Structures are given as structure tokens and as C-alpha cells.
Amino acid sequence: MKETKENIARYGGPAAILGGAMYVLAFVATFLIYSAFKEQAKGTFFGEHAFIHIIDVAAFAVLFVGALAVLRSQAGRVGRIAKAGFFLTLAGFGLSVIGGLTIIVVGLAVSDEATLGILDVVTHPLAQLLYTLGSAIMGVALLRKGTLPRLGALLVAAGPVALFALFMSGNGNVQAVVPIMASVVATGLGWAVLGHGLRAERAASSEREEIAGRPEPAVR
């Protein structure tokens, strides 16, 4: 257990940075496949639901580790409401990973049509709702606390809310690509900034431990 916590602390910052970049990449790939090159992708493996989730699942899995590291770094610093936000975010990311993996298996083993319906709803709107609410609560709490970079907290709070609002208002199409990508980039950048904050925090903590572990100079 101790080793697991140490690994989360060690790799959590890089995971948040990488997850933020992969989150943006997943949305760029979605736009290219389902909008810009829709006709070319039709009837190929790249146009299947399972393919996009290969990228999607990886992004959310790495973000899950990053979010877990943020939660661990803030233990004892935030209240119950903020912790609820963290757990909602983790639940949303986790559901995205589980649902995405299921879509990949079902899509490849059965058919692309079999991945639609309830499976698609659970993997997308439901998971997105969970991590949107969670990110908003978590981001506001981190913004107020200031223990991690406030810019990252603000972007993580605002990006998912803006994206969810666009989809719910019926603007989740190619005509709204600019505000959609702005929301996605804000979210990805927010996680990257939080990841950088985690790395800086860990480096500072290691430096303090090193100084504390040095022997006192001999007094003559």
C-alpha cells in the first residue's frame, strides 16, 4: 500500500500532464474522423466506434491517475464537499475507461452497431456528467485553497462545464468546432498545469526531506 501511494505521488504529476495532452488529442482525432474526414473513414476500421475509444480510454486512464494524485496531495487540506468533487471526477474518468474498454471489445467481437444505445449513453453523457460536476467542484475548491496553481484549477473547473453546456444546447457539431476545441484545450491545459504543480510540490517536499536528513554540523 505504501509503495502504491509513493508511485501515485511520483507519477501523478507526469500522468496529469500526459493525460491533459491525450485528452486534447482524443477530441482532435474525433473531429478529424467524424467530421473532417468522415467520408474517407466510413467503412474502415478508423471510422468504427471502437477505434476512437482506443485513444479515449488511454487518455481517461492516465487522467484517472493524475486526479488520484491531486486528491492524495490535497488530503487534509480540503473539506468534504471538495472531496466529493474529487470522487465524482474519479468516477467519471473510471466509467469512461470501463465503458470505453467495453465498447472496444463489443465493437471488435460483435459489431459497431452493438456499441450504440445504452452502452454509448453510459460511456459518454453519464460519464461526462460525473466528471463535469466533479471537476467544477474540485476546481473551485483548489482555486480557493491555492495549494496548486490557480490557473490549472480554474481551467479544470471551467473547461468541462463549457463543453457539457455546448453539447446540451445542441451545439456539439462541426459548426461549433471552435468553442468545443477551446473548451477541450482549456481542460487539457488545466490538467497539465495541475500536473506541473504536483511535480513542483513533490520536488519541494523531497528537498525539505533531504535537508532535514542531513546531519547537524559538529560544534567545536
Question: CA–CA separation, 214 vs 176, rounded Å?
Answer: 58
Judged by average pLDDT, the poorest of 39-48, 52-61, 118-127, 145-154 is 39-48
Does residue 220 belong to any structural domain of this protein?
no
Dump pLDDT digits (tens) for 27-77: 888 888 877 677 887 777 777 777 888 889 999 999 999 999 999 998 888
Q: Alpha-carbon Rg of the chain, whole angstroms? A: 20
CB 104, CB 54: distance < 8 Å: yes
Q: Check residues 110 and 181 and name the one with the higher pLDDT.
A: 181
State which residues form the domain around 186: 2-213
- In a domain, residue 218? The reply is no
Sequence-separated contacts (24+) of 167-173 with Cβ below 8 Å: 167/125, 167/128
Highest mean pLDDT among 9-18, 36-45, 209-218: 9-18
**Per-chain mean pLDDT for the chain:** 85
pTM: 0.86
At residue 11, the pLDDT reads 84
> How many domains does one find in the chain?
1
> CB atoms < 10 A from the CB of 136, how many?
20
